[in-house]
Every structure is written in structure tokens, then in C-alpha cells.
Chain A
Amino acid sequence: MSEWKPKIVAFLCNWCSYGAADLAGVSRMEYPPYIRVIRIPCAGRMDPKFALAALREGADGVWVSG
């Protein structure tokens, strides 16, 4: 394998970070393509079980952002 690619699950608040991620796109910024976004209605929706489940499914990192 040439290079290990990390796999990171991002739980993003619909109103905050998800919007920021959209805006980053509008501004044509670039960032590493390893995050997989799961949109949640609010950071309050985040359940620790989600993070555990993601790790169990082989995710290398979990990022929760409100």
C-alpha cells in the first residue's frame, strides 16, 4: 500500500459547522479529502454511542463540531 489514508467521520451541526463546510466550498478552499460528513441537526444530537460505533466500524478518527 503506497500511503495509508486515514478515515475520519465528522458529525457536523447543520447550522454551524455544516454551513462553514459549505462556505469553504463556495470559497474554493482546499482540505484533505478524508473526512466523511454526517449531518446532524445540532451538536446536542451527538450521542457518545455514535463515536464508539464509528470507531468500531473502522474509522480512524471522529470529529464532532458544533
Chain B
Amino acid sequence: MVTFKLNGKTVQGDEGQYILQVAEKYGVDIPTLCHHKALEPAGMCRLCTVELFDGRRTRFVTACNYPIWEGMEVSTDSEMVHDGRKLIVEMLLSRCPEVPLIQNLAQGYGISEPRFKKEEDTCILCGLCTRVCERMGANAISLTGRGVEMKVDTPFGLNTEACLACGACASVCPTGHITLERVNQKHARIAAGLIPSEYDVGLNGRKAVYVPYAQAVPNTPVIDRDVCMHFKTGGCEICAEFCGVDAIDYTMEDEIVELDVGSIILAPGFEPFDPSAFDSYNYINHANVITSMEMERILSASGPFEGHLIRPSDHKEPKKIAWFQCVGSRDVNRCDNSYCSSVCCMYAIKEAVITKEHAGDDVDCAIFFMDMRTHGKDFERFYDKAREKEGVRFIRSRVHTIDSIPGSDDLSLKYVLDDGQMVTETFDMVVLSVGLQTPPEVVELAKKLDIELTAGNFCKTPTFDPVVTSRPGIFVCGAFQGPKDIPQAVVDSSAAAAAAGEILVSARHSNTKEKEVIPETNVINERPRIGVFVCRCGTNIAGVVNVPAVAEYAKSLPYVTYTTDNLYSCSQDTQEVMTAIIKKEKLNRVVVAACTPKTHEPLFQETLVNAGLNKYLFEMCNIRNQDSWVHKTTPDLATEKAKDLVRMAVSKVGLMEPLKETAFEVNQNALIIGGGVAGLTVAKSLGRQGYQTHIVEKGDRLGGQAEKLYRTADGETVKPKLRQLIDEITKNDNITIHLDTELTDVDGFVGNFKSTLSRNGSGNDDETVIEHGVAVIATGGKPYTPSEYHYGEDSRIMTSLMLDQKIMEGDSDLKNLDTAVFIQCVGSRQPDRPYCSRVCCTHSIDSALTLKEMNPDMNIYILYRDIRTYGEREYLYKEARDKGVIFIRYSLDAKPIVEVEDGQLDIELTDPILDRPVKISAGLLCLATAVIPNQDEKLARMFKVSVNDDGFFVERHAKLGPSEFATDGVYLCGLAHYPKPVDESVVQGRAVASRAVTLLAKDKIYTSGQVAETDPAICSACNVCVSVCPYGAPSLTPEDARFFPGTAEINPVLCKGCGLCVASCRSGAIHLKGFDNDQIFAQIFSLDQAVGL
């Protein structure tokens, strides 16, 4: 330690430190220009000059590179020093009068005009650039020339190969003299530029050391070895120097890890189609033609423009935006991706609606499309709303040219309307709705793994096993199985997990390690002994908040017996130290002031548990994410805030009590309601995994609607596969089938249901009660019975399923038909049933193809509104057109008119292209009827789950929880969720099995400690809590209960700890453990010493 005097105060620093470093530590400000923490000081700018008294005389030295010594006396702000600095600044201002940094400095010293002759330079010759260049190991630039001729340059002023265009010089230049453009012009032979951020699709730059995106897992930075200067020259190493925990190791190498596994799941995803190759879109040449991925980032609050909608070329707010659909999809001519990418219509509408939300209604959003494909759950409603309420324009046309408009950044679009009219319209910006495709490296991987691909390079899977690849043991999920949106991918992933689980069932629990349980210390009735740990988080917190002061302050708070500050509280060694401290100091409450409880609370709770404390005797306060990171310009106020937060946390934690996490046994049986394809698949998977499974089927046979289907989009005939499935179910001893049976009562909750089954028509005598841990609702759907198009009046008019029946029966009349007509959207996509039934387009087209196989000369017309053959179903659409099936579009306000007269069956409608009426005489009219759910309000009530306006059950989360309900332990699949083809029902059934197993695999489930509890002595039995709880946790005890009859009690298994009931309780009878009134009041009551007072 070296002791010396700084501005009259005695201070200490380490041997070898410079004055500036010690001054910084003691909060003494010394101005600098040529100083940079990462670089050796050079004393170039002289601005940090201070006065040094060595015992005999006074000298002036530069603080940045003058080492401290024992007994010296330094004065940083004497009059002489001030005058000296002022002169330096004045001279710099005359050299660089236009540099804002120097202007500000000058203003600070009260200089408005320099007394010297003004020059037009922008370089202050601080040498930061040359020093950083040297450090980068490039040595491309240096200070050349002497005296007034001195400047930063490359040898002989030539662009050189020594310059690696890393941009370090530009990043340290304090005046803006060196920019990347300057590097390109004067220094480098290779182009310098920002490293494009992959996450922001190149709209933003990133560093060579970076976290790929905010939600990345793991959330630790990586070094991009391709651009990192250390890996090019061996220089730099600045990051290693600054890392407080020595986490950077340049010697790490890629390693090959070998794993012994029983199954492989492929989830490699997709890549967005790259439109650069097509000059027609002008994507490469025009900054304002962007892809939908770029639009996503532009609209994102965490994106390059922070959610502010501006166009790339000039950062102007666009007023007219066009979306082009099917870029890289449904296109054989240019990109060979002839499939439909399934998701682009919906995301384009979403982007258009968000655009209007961000930028106001006066932004014109126009979507150019071929067929609008909003076949997902609740998607059609969104489309209707976008069109009718939000004013998004939908134009059915493929734009053929985008032209730049000379002298502006706008774009001119030419397109043709239905009636042949050519339109030219100007837009500010064009978004290309790019499709999904399998990346070439995944195609390579597939080859290596020897699995079969489809024509569109997706993984080939059978209809009745949609996650199973052609190679046993290898499963697939997500967009590699076929282009799909999030809910479908989530369903897939669960199903793939179940498929893997089925074959690995014998290995289950064979590799489990038991965790050592540390006995819990009893702290009840003990006086609180609170320990406060304040984290520095390196410099993340300590760089702004005065951490030692906060820790010191915490000491003064009531019941606090121990405080300290840690460099990194979350590091492994600190955790161990904390455990030791808790034990040694006999702490019984802990406060950690650090990053945020959202990410680190569980970790610190674990520390408590390891020290034998109940994990709820803990409170965390957020002094990083919500303090040091957001208030860096006001360190004093940030420190005050940190103290307040610590005080509030301390007062709360004193009132924390040890909470119990109650264990419940999980009944290992499953109950499935519905014996259709979806329900049977759940049973198959659970049965294979060894769980006792009951199928309850209302009807007298298994199979559901699949019984009536002829074949699937893949051309597989349904019957034999269905037989095979039913066979396996029947033979599996784990599965019990209850036919002609209905559910009459359900009691209990997750893990412990009790259901009463009743055989139809047999009265109350034949009731069985089944105990089960999970329940699956797979009640299916049925075809809508049309009330239009003369249905039921003529045997030639039939539904799709009736036609399938005829085909399966081998009806010879079909072959002799002269003309067949299909009408789409019968009962779907209309005001009383505003959803798309998803399956009917593919079904009709496949039926049309079957008829064509029977009789290639048959005239077949499909009357449609939008053809929705999503994914690789699109091939069928193309095949049908190739084989001469005629598609005629109609609109909702001009439906086809069917007439049955004198044995004639005539269908009349207006062809939009010819713009004239067409009359077709048909021998068969097939109505593609809507799929409607088997609505069951009673069942919904019994399981406390909800049903939407269309009668389909409502899942936990539309995107992330598609196969489960908000009620724990209850799942849904198949048509009860939404209309879907066989393969999607099968995959969702398997997904349900997977979700259910996550619960069944545990013998016990633990409730959270932070749940609500009633005090029956105060409860007034008003029933409000029962009605407000979204999870059905509270209930009233029976009137004949022995204690407190009729009062509310809360099931801790179902309680999610939201506190809604607590706030609504009029009697104050409900307490939320961990967030109880007295605890929150304690936080409020400790406010009164807060800032400003």
C-alpha cells in the first residue's frame, strides 16, 4: 500500500498504480482525453495534468501515467492546474473548433472563442487510435510527421493490408475523426463495417464478443472467432483483462463429445427464404424492400429502432407499406419451393396490424396475396378484424414489377386486378413475406442420418406417426417436419418426446441421482437475525451504486446482524461462502441485493436450503436491472434507491415465515374422454409407457370420425391404420375401454381425480368410480349438417364424408359421372361460424383426384373462396389443376346458387375472371361442410375448463400450451381443440401423452409455498373468492363439516399464488403466504425515510 495526499486528504493506492486510478477510486474527477482504461496511458493530451509537491518543490505531472509514491502530495484542481488545463482546451478548440466534445469542454472552462487562429481539423492527436491499433496487433497506423505536420496515418498514406479493418480505432476515437468510412477510404484494403447482428437480420451491428440475443440460453457472451482480433493477430485480449472472474479462455477449442443415447430427436428448424437471387423483387438494390424477418425486428421494441416504425433508407416514417405473399413459396418457376409455407399469410396480417398499432391508422397497409390462408385457431377472426376494423387492404394479385422511382426512395408497383385492370401504385416500403425452407446443412444432416425427405426437403413421416422418421429411434419435430407455426411446433415437440419416451420406457429412472437433503433448522419464535448481502456484479452494480455504502447502511437497520458485499454473489465460490456465513452467523433471514429475482431468486433460495434454512426466509432486491443499469447518470440517486430497496426488503424479510411445500401423491392412472383417433393415440402412448389408462367412449365403437374417412393427404387409406391402432389398444392390458359410457361426475384435482362413469341407458345401477391422476378431453367433432344448397333434398347432393363413404363402398355410379361439383366453406368462414375448418380444401381436392383416377374425363369443378392447401398439401392442388380440375372462386356475398329441377342439378355462380355467370349441370354436388365441435358444457364445468365462442375448448396458451388446459392435470387434443386432419390429431394425442407423463412420472407433486390460505374463523362464507379464482382453487366446506361448515378453503395444489382472492376478500380472511398484507405493508411503512425526505 502506498499512502499519499490527494487534495489534502490521505489516500491509499497499490504499488504501481497511477494517480488517475487512485483518484478515480476516491471519486476525484480528473478530466482526460487520451486516456482509455484498456490501454497503457501515454500522457499525450496533457489535460490530466495535476500539481505534485514532492516535499521540496512543486511540479506538474500527467495523472494518467505518473506512478504514485509514498508521501507525495497531489492537488488536482489548484488554480495553476485549472489555468493550465484551460489553455490546453483553448488550443484544442482553435485546432478543432467543430468537434462537440471539445466545444463542451471549452464551455466548461468558460471559453467561447479561442484567441488563436482557428483551423479545421478534427483530430486532437491523442494517439488512442494508434495505441489501440498496436494493441490489436495490427500496427497499421501511427502518428506520422513531426510538429505541425503530425497526423495519424498509414505508412506513406497508402491503403494497406496491415489494416485488418477491425474498426477499433473508430471505436476509441473521442472526436469522431476516425470513422469506418475513413478506414475504408484511407487505411484498409478490405472493407470495414459493422459486424451485422444475426438477430437483427443485419439491421444493427454487434460486437465480436456478444450475447446473441436477450433471451439466449445460456445467457452468456460468446466470442466470434471469425472477427475477433485476438484470433487474427494474437493481440488485444482486452476482454480477458476486464473480466472480473477470469471466464475468458482463448485456448478453448471445439471438442467432439460422444453421447450414448437411445433415441434422437431432430429439431433443426428452418431458414427464411433468401430473396436476394431474384432481381424482380429488387431486394438487393433497394434498401426499402425488406424481408418479413427484418420487419419483425423493426417492429420489435427491442429491435434496431426500438419499435419505432421507420424505413431503412432514410429513417423516414413510412406512410404506405405493401406486403408480398408467397415469396419463396408456391412458386415452381423461380425458386422450386412449390409448397405453401403455411405461416406467412397470418404473420403478414399480424405485422400489418402491429404496424397500425405502432404508427397510427393513417399508415396504409396493403397485402398482395393469391389465397389468404388463415386456417389456424382464431386466425380467421383476426383476418376479418384486420380487414374490416383495422382497414388493412387485401389485394388478390401477384405484383410483377417493383421499380425504383428516380430521385426518391419510394417504390412503384405494377399489378393487375381480377378484371384485368392494370394499376400502378407508389409505396414507401415493401415487405417480402418470405417462406420457410430447410437449410442445406440440414439436408446434409438428413443424408448422414439416412432419413428420407419429402419433395420439399422436409422430413418424411407417416400420417399415423407424424413425428417418426424413416429410421427407427430417430424422431422429428417442428418446421423440419413441414412448414408450420408455433402451436403446431410445440405440439410436435411434445409428441416427439413421448415417442422417444415410449421406446425408452425400460430405461426410465435408471440414471437418476438422489439429491442430498439438508435438514431444516427451526427458526420459529427466534428473533430475526438478518443477513444482507450486497452484490457488486463486477462493475455492473458497483460502477454506479456505492455498494460499500449500501452494505454499511444495511448494518444500521433493525435486526440486521450481518452485512457484506460480494464481487459476484452468484458465483459458485461465493455461494459456498454465503452458506458458511449463514451457518456461522446463525442467520435466520437473508436479503440479497443484486440483479433480479426473476433470474436469480431460485439460485439464492438453493443457497439457503444448503445452509439448512427454509427457502422462503429470503427476499431479493433488485439493484441492478432496476437500478444501476437504468440510472447510470445519477449515481447518488441510484445509491439512495438501493438503500431504500434494501430497507424495504429488510423490513419485509423480518416478517417472512418458513413455508411448507405440501407433497401430494399422484395417482398413476389416466382417464381419456373420447375414443377417436386423438384419444386412442393418447391411450396408445400412455399404455406403451406402462400407465393404466381408461378410455371412455359415448358411442358403441372406437374410431370416431376417422371411421368415415377414405384417405389422407399423403394418400394413405385410413381404415387399415385405424384398425391397427384399435387392435393395439384392445390388446394392451394397461388400457381399459368403456364403451357406451359417459362421465357424470368429477371430483378432486390434479393427481387425485375421482370420476363417476355411467353406462348409457342402464340407469344409476351401473356406475363405476375411477380414480385417476390426469384427464384428457378428446371429445372430437362432427360435420355440420347444411341447411342450404338443397342439402337433403336430392341424393346427388352430399357432404364430403358421404362421398368418402361412396368411394370406400366402391360405388360404381361414381365412375360414370359426367360432371362433379364441390362447394367449399359450407358453414365455415361466415358470420355465424367465423372460423376456417382447415381440412375441407385438401379433402375436396383429394376427392376430386380420386374421381379423376376413376374417370380422367370427368368434369370437376371446385367452387372456393380461398384454397387452403397449406404445407405440402399444396402439391395436391397443383396436381388437381394439372389434371384439369377447374377452380372457380366465389365470394361470401355471391354464393353459388343450386337448383334442382326436372331431374336437373344446376349450380350457378359468377366467374370473377371472366366476370360473367357460369352454369354447371352436375351429376354430383359435394358440400365441403364445416367441422363443428361436440360441444359439452357439462364436461367443461366438471373439469373447470372453458369453451370458446365456436364451442371448441380453450387451451392454456394459444401458442405455448396448445395441448393442455389452464386447469392442472387436464389435457385436450383432436377436434375438441380445433378442426384438424388425421395426422395433426395423432400428433396432438401423442403430445398430450407427453404432457401427462411429465406429471405421472412423479410419485408426488409439491405445492408452492406461496399460496393463499383462509382463516375460517373470520371467513363470512360470501363465496367471492370461489367466483374470482381463475384456477378453481377455493371452495366452500360442506354444510355438515365438523369444523367451520360452509367457510372457504383453498386447495394449495391448484392455487397459483396470484392473490386475487386476497384482494377481493371482504373479511380479510385470506392470507397470501410470502406476499401477505403485513409483509407488503412493512415495505410500504419503511418508505417514510426514503429519498427527498
Contacts and interface: CB of A to CB of B under 8 A. Distances in A.
7 contacts: A26-B214, A28-B630, A33-B638, A41-B1075, A44-B1063, A45-B1060, A57-B1084
B1080 A37 contact: no
A27 B214 contact: yes
B1065 to A, nearest CB: 10
Interface string A1-45: 000111101000010001101111111111101101111111011
Given A54-B1084, A57-B1084, A40 B630 contact: no
Nearest to A18: B598
Interface in B297-315: 302
Interface of B: 214, 302, 596-599, 622, 624-627, 629-634, 637-638, 640-641, 644-645, 648, 1010, 1028, 1057-1060, 1062-1064, 1072, 1075, 1077, 1080-1081, 1083-1085, 1087-1088, 1090-1093
Nearest to B1092: A5
Given A5-B1092, A25-B629, A26-B629, A42 B1080 contact: no
Give the 3 A-B CB pairs with smallest separation, nearest first: A45-B1059, A25-B625, A44-B1060
Contact of B1087 (A5, A19, A59): A59
Given A27-B214, A42-B1058, A47 B1077 contact: yes
Contacts of B1084: 9, 38, 50, 53-54, 57, 59
B1080 A25 contact: no
B1092 A25 contact: no
A45 B630 contact: no
B622 A37 contact: yes
B1080 A24 contact: no
Contacts of B622: 21-22, 37
B598 A22 contact: yes
A4 B1091 CA distance: 10
A21 B1083 CA distance: 19
A46 to B, nearest CB: 6
A41 B1092 contact: no
B1087 A58 contact: yes
Contacts of B637: 5, 33-34
Nearest to A26: B214
B1072 A33 contact: no
A29 B630 contact: yes
Given A23-B302, A36-B648, A7 B1090 contact: yes
Given A33-B638, A44-B1058, A45-B1075, A58 B1088 contact: yes
Given A44-B1063, A47-B1062, A47-B1077, A25 B1087 contact: no
Nearest to B642: A33
Contacts of B632: 28, 30
B1091 A5 contact: yes
A20 B310 CA distance: 23
A29 B625 CA distance: 10
A30 B633 contact: yes
A57 B1057 CA distance: 27
A28 B632 CA distance: 9
A25 B624 contact: yes
B626 A22 contact: yes
Nearest to A55: B1084
A23 B306 CA distance: 13
B630 A4 contact: no
Given A41-B1010, A58-B1093, A23 B214 contact: yes
Interface of A: 4-7, 9, 14, 18-19, 21-31, 33-34, 36-42, 44-47, 49-50, 53-54, 57-59
Q: Counting chain B CB atoms within 10 Å of each CB, which of A29, A31, A34 scores highest?
A: A34
A13 B1059 CA distance: 11
Nearest to A27: B302
Given A7-B1090, A22-B598, A42 B1060 contact: yes
A51 to B, nearest CB: 9
Given A6-B1092, A30-B632, A25 B302 contact: no
A54 B1087 CA distance: 8
Nearest to B1028: A44
A54 B941 CA distance: 41
Given A5-B1092, A18-B598, A37-B626, A57 B1087 contact: yes
A60 B1072 CA distance: 27
Contact of B626 (A25, A42, A53, A57): A25
B1087 A45 contact: no
A25 B626 CA distance: 6
B221 to A, nearest CB: 13
Contacts of B1087: 7, 9, 36, 54, 57-59
B557 to A, nearest CB: 16
A24 to B, nearest CB: 6
A4 B1092 CA distance: 7
Contacts of A53: 1081, 1084-1085
B1081 to A, nearest CB: 6
A19 B1080 CA distance: 19
Q: Counting chain A CB atoms within 10 Å of each CB, which of B599, B629, B1010, B1028 scores highest?
A: B629
A53 to B, nearest CB: 5
A11 to B, nearest CB: 8
Given A44-B1028, A54-B1084, 8 more contacts: A7-B1090, A24-B625, A28-B632, A30-B631, A33-B631, A50-B1081, A50-B1084, A57-B1084
Given A7-B1091, A18-B598, A23-B302, A41 B1072 contact: yes
A40 B1063 CA distance: 12
Nearest to A59: B1087
B596 A22 contact: yes
Contact of A21 (B626, B1075, B1080, B1085): B626
A27 B397 CA distance: 41
A7 B648 CA distance: 14
Contacts of B1085: 53, 57
B630 A31 contact: yes
A52 to B, nearest CB: 10
Contact of B1063 (A18, A19, A24, A45): A45
Contacts of A50: 1080-1081, 1084
A28 B543 CA distance: 14
B644 A36 contact: yes
Contacts of A44: 1028, 1058-1060, 1063-1064
Contacts of B648: 36, 38
A49 B53 CA distance: 63
Q: Counting chain B CB atoms within 10 Å of each CB, which of A5, A31, A45, A53 scores highest?
A: A45
Given A22-B625, A28-B629, A7 B1093 contact: yes
B216 to A, nearest CB: 11
A19 B626 CA distance: 10
A49 B1091 CA distance: 22
Contact of B1088 (A4, A33, A57): A57
Given A5-B1091, A23-B302, A25-B624, A37 B1058 contact: no
Contacts of A54: 1084, 1087
Contacts of A38: 648, 1080, 1083-1084
Contacts of B627: 25, 33
B594 to A, nearest CB: 12
Contacts of A57: 1084-1085, 1087-1088
B1082 to A, nearest CB: 10
Nearest to B599: A22
Contacts of B1060: 42, 44-45
A46 B1093 CA distance: 26
Nearest to B1010: A41
Q: Counting chain A CB atoms within 10 Å of each CB, which of B640, B1092, B1093 scores highest?
A: B1092
Contacts of B596: 22, 25
A30 to B, nearest CB: 6
Nearest to A3: B1092
A44 to B, nearest CB: 3
Contacts of B1057: 41
B1075 A40 contact: yes
A21 B625 contact: yes
